[in-house]
A and B are shown apart, each in its own frame.
Chain A
Amino acid sequence: MDSLIPFTTSGSLVDCVDSTSVFSISLNSHNILRKMLVVLRDGRKLQGVLRSYDQFANLVLEDTVERIYHQNMFAEQKCGLFLIRGENVVLLGEVDLDQEDDVPLRQVDWDTLAAIHQEDIVTKKARDEFKAKVLYEQRGFCKEGGEGDGY
């Protein structure tokens, strides 16, 4: 019966929820917390411990960290406890903690990267708008719903 759980729609999420007590520092081997990556529709990438979810895919993320990337650099910002409304979630995935240390990016501080990141967003938005315009006019694609598709 256990083997069927990964195949049900949200059954696989059950495995990703970490409901261990926050303040009990027990010395068992399951001390490692699973970090989950959430990408939102506005393009934000959050990492945190998934504490719960529901039928709308609303998520509770603890010790959330927001990351921004630019070329070979990244920056982090601690954001605390989040309740994310499900419709704003693009994807949810488990972070492989072993491979996480092998990431070939170097960390810089948030304020330096923030400005560059904003520029990145603006250029990407302009590029995507232009692309959509060309596709619509020349190839007959339909226009995308503009709101909240920053990812």
Chain B
Amino acid sequence: MLVELKNGETFNGHLVNCDNFMNITLREVYQTNAEGDRFWKLKECYIRGSTIKYIRVPDTLLDAVKEEQNRAREAGRRDRGGHTGGPGRGGKSAVAVIAVEAPCAADLYEEQEVEEGVFKSYHGLSLYFVVHRIIL
């Protein structure tokens, strides 16, 4: 990738690591000054995020990221698909009403978590909704 700093210097290299502040470490770096007339080769370098103007990246990176996200989602879905443990916390969750049962005894049911379901009762209406949490 190519990193251009606020002062115009450019760094061409391979990304080793990065953090939330955009601080990055690069390897096999070719540094160029702002005018473009001096060059340095550095084995590795650390760039503070606050000095970065922009980063140029291979065009194919977007596709690669999308692939990885899909793969991660598939893996996550597969792991969580079986009757293992309670509902996961990751990702968005949608609540769908699966069934509305006929009026039953107006006892107050406690909230229970049963596998991926939550029982709730509306005492006054003496109806209960079975709600399944679906992880998207």
State which size class the interface on B falls in. Answer: 10 to 19
**A85 with B57: CB separation less than 8 A:** no
CB distance from B43 to the nearest CB of A (A): 24
Determine which of A21, A40, A81, A148 lies in contact with B57 in the assembled complex, contact meaning CB atoms within 8 Å.
A81
- 8 Å CB interface, B25-84 against A: 49, 52-59, 61-63, 66
Q: Considering the chains assembled together, what is the distance between the CA atoms of A124 and B55 in angstroms?
A: 27
CB distance from A101 to the nearest CB of B (A): 25
Dominant SS among interface residues on chain A: strand
A88 and B54 contact, Cβ closer than 8 Å, known pairs A22-B62, A62-B62, A148-B6: yes
Q: How many residues of A contact B (CB 8 A)?
A: 19
**A88 with B53: CB separation less than 8 A:** yes
A80 and B56 contact, Cβ closer than 8 Å, known pairs A21-B66, A88-B6, A147-B6: yes
Q: Considering the chains assembled together, what is the distance between the CA atoms of A84 and B4 in angstroms?
A: 10
- A42-B53, A51-B62, A82-B56 given; name 7 further pairs at CB < 8 Å: A22-B63, A80-B59, A81-B58, A84-B53, A85-B53, A85-B55, A88-B54
